[in-house]
């Protein structure tokens, strides 16, 4: 792969960490953060990035195994994307797509995305609705599926079925679709018309002696039970992440998605694939549904479409939905100021072009993805690791108190947070979700980069094991 990073900037601005931290604590309210607690410890100030690494204001180099927040897929410092943004800003920094107007980057990107989304069976993607984030896109989904059914004269079809521990964003709509208990508790969520079934998390929800195959079928069939309980005539759609990301990289058994497809087909319910994390190469294909064996009607995307260089999201609208909305006519009373933002769309085009030129998706599928799988599965030998597995460039492992008995750590040990602290301390970003440690590395990692990352992961697991023993957690 050709290096195309910016030449190093000779004189970097000197940053006074303490004063930035003081201003941060005085004025900046961070997402998903206890502001008081952060004020006491001081935020880590990230000042630059190059390739798969970021640097903090103290000069510490950190391997970013989370691609920022599952998004910097082509790595930091790609000058082509900066150039694309600059040129577009100079030419047309903004114009809206309301009132019968359009702009060239948005049109080109919509066409490109429809070209990349594979046709499956009789389904294809003909249109795109743009937003600026995953959350907004899922709000669009709620509006769009209800509008679709109303256009067909079935306005009682309003309910969307989702899953516990799923993540679909943080707006009122996104957080309601999601199944995060902590988010629901703050603010009377979910909103009416959204119900949840269990997640297909084998280590958590399997019955004694149940095979992964049977478990996948049983969990998918919860959807059918829920549809029958609610009445199919009231159910608009089912939404799920192909692989749950924020919930801890939960990879469903291979039997799960085809069974979900059978059920939605049987009852004529729309299927929404939330691919905010999984699309654009992370699983070794442009879109995830083609790998997992199902045919969604709507696909949520964001993050990787621009590799995080500009905020952009949207919904891929399959022909089943697009046809009805177009043929029935009438205005869809929904949209955002930044729908089809020309700069974000131009950055996305540059990102997709770069990925195609460098064969990023093929490399994940045929080379680095299988290699990561092999390396990550070897972690199962570690005394602290219960279940390490990956799919493409998403991987998760379970920290286990006793591998022989399958006993888990008590949540009050905070073992995941302890492991995360060792990672940060040793120059690695690895995320903790309860007792699971997860990674979603930049898709441009080479085999040598994967080796470097695995060394750091093992070192941090060793340190966590020592701490757990010292503190009597295991």
Residues of this chain that interact with ligand PMP (CB under 6 A) are: 70, 133-135, 138, 167-169, 174, 241, 245-246, 274, 276-277, 302, 313
For residue 201, the minimal CB distance to ligand PMP (Å) is 16
For residue 17, the minimal CB distance to ligand PMP (Å) is 27
* Contact indicator for 25, 16 with CB cutoff of 8 Å: no
**Whole-angstrom distance, CA of residue 72 vs CA of residue 442:** 6
For residue 245, the minimal CB distance to ligand PMP (Å) is 5
* Tokens, residue 356: 């195609």
Closer residue to ligand PMP (CB): 169 or 386: 169
For residue 143, the minimal CB distance to ligand PMP (Å) is 16
Closest CB to ligand PMP belongs to which residue?
Answer: 134
For residue 357, the minimal CB distance to ligand PMP (Å) is 26
Closer residue to ligand PMP (CB): 134 or 342: 134
Closer residue to ligand PMP (CB): 97 or 273: 273
Closer residue to ligand PMP (CB): 151 or 351: 351
Closer residue to ligand PMP (CB): 178 or 386: 178
Closer residue to ligand PMP (CB): 311 or 416: 311
Residue position matching structure tokens 């089809």: 340
Query: Which burial class, exposed, middle or buried, applies to 203 when counting CB atoms under 10 A from its CB (0-12, 13-18, 19+)?
Result: middle
Give the other-Cβ count within 10 Å of 260's Cβ: 26
Residue 77: φ, ψ to 5°? 85, 25
**All residues at 6 or more sequence positions from 160 whose CB lies less than 8 Å from its CB, including other chains:** 141, 142, 145, 177, 193, 194, 195, 235, 236, 237, 238, 239, 272
**Whole-angstrom distance, CA of residue 97 vs CA of residue 158:** 28
For residue 175, the minimal CB distance to ligand PMP (Å) is 10
Closer residue to ligand PMP (CB): 246 or 468: 246
Closer residue to ligand PMP (CB): 84 or 438: 438
* CA distance between the termini of the chain: 44
**All residues at 6 or more sequence positions from 57 whose CB lies less than 8 Å from its CB, including other chains:** 15, 17, 20, 45, 46, 47
Residue burial 145-177, b: 16+ Cβ < 10 Å; e: rest: bbbbbbbeeeeebbbbbbbbbbbbbbbbbbbbb
For residue 238, the minimal CB distance to ligand PMP (Å) is 15
**Whole-angstrom distance, CA of residue 145 vs CA of residue 143:** 6
For residue 191, the minimal CB distance to ligand PMP (Å) is 16
**Whole-angstrom distance, CA of residue 260 vs CA of residue 451:** 37
């Amino acid at each position: 792969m050709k290096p195309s990073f910016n030449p190093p900037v000779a004189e970097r601005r000197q940053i006074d960490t303490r004063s930035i931290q003081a201003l941060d604590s005085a004025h900046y309210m961070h997402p998903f953060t206890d502001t008081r607690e952060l004020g006491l410890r001081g935020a880590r100030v990230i000042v630059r990035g190059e390739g798969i690494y970021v640097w903090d204001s103290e000069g510490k180099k950190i391997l970013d195994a989370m691609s920022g927040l599952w998004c910097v897929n082509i790595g930091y410092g790609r000058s082509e994307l900066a150039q694309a943004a600059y040129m577009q800003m100079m030419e047309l920094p903004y114009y809206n797509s309301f009132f019968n107007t359009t702009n060239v980057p948005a049109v080109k990107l919509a066409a490109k995305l429809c070209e990349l989304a594979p046709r499956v069976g009789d389904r294809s993607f003909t249109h795109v609705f743009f937003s600026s984030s995953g959350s907004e896109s899922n709000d669009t989904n709620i509006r769009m599926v209800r509008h679709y059914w109303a256009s067909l004269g079935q306005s009682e079809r309003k309910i969307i079925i989702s899953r516990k521990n799923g993540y679909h964003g943080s707006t009122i709509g996104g957080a309601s679709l999601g199944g995060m208990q902590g988010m629901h508790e703050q603010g009377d969520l979910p909103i009416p018309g959204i119900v949840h079934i269990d997640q297909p998390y084998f280590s958590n929800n399997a019955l004694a002696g149940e095979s992964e195959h049977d478990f996948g079928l049983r969990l998918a069939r919860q959807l059918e039970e829920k549809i029958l309980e609610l009445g199919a005539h009231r159910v608009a759609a089912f939404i799920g992440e192909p692989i749950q990301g924020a919930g801890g990289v939960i990879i469903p058994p291979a039997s799960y998605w085809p069974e979900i497809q059978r059920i939605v087909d049987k009852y004529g319910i729309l299927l929404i694939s939330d691919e905010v994390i999984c699309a654009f190469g992370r699983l070794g294909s442009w879109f995830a549904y083609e790998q997992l064996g199902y045919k969604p009607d709507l696909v949520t995307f964001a993050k990787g479409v621009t590799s995080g260089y500009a905020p952009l999201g949207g919904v891929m609208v399959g022909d089943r939905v697009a046809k009805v909305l177009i043929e029935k006519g009438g205005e869809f009373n929904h949209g955002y100021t930044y729908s089809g933002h020309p700069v974000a769309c131009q950055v996305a085009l540059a990102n997709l072009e770069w990925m195609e030129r460098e064969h990023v998706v093929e490399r994940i599928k045929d080379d680095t993805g299988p290699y990561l799988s092999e390396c990550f599965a070897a972690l199962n030998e570690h005394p602290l690791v219960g279940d390490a597995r990956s799919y493409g460039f998403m991987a998760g492992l379970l920290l286990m108190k006793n591998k022989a008995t399958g006993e888990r750590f008590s949540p009050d040990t905070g073992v995941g947070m302890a492991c995360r602290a060792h990672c940060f301390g040793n120059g690695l970003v690895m995320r903790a979700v309860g007792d699971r440690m997860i990674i979603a590395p930049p898709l441009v990692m080479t085999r040598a980069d994967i080796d470097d990352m695995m060394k750091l992961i093992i070192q941090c697991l060793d340190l966590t094991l020592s701490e757990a023993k010292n503190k009597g957690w295991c």
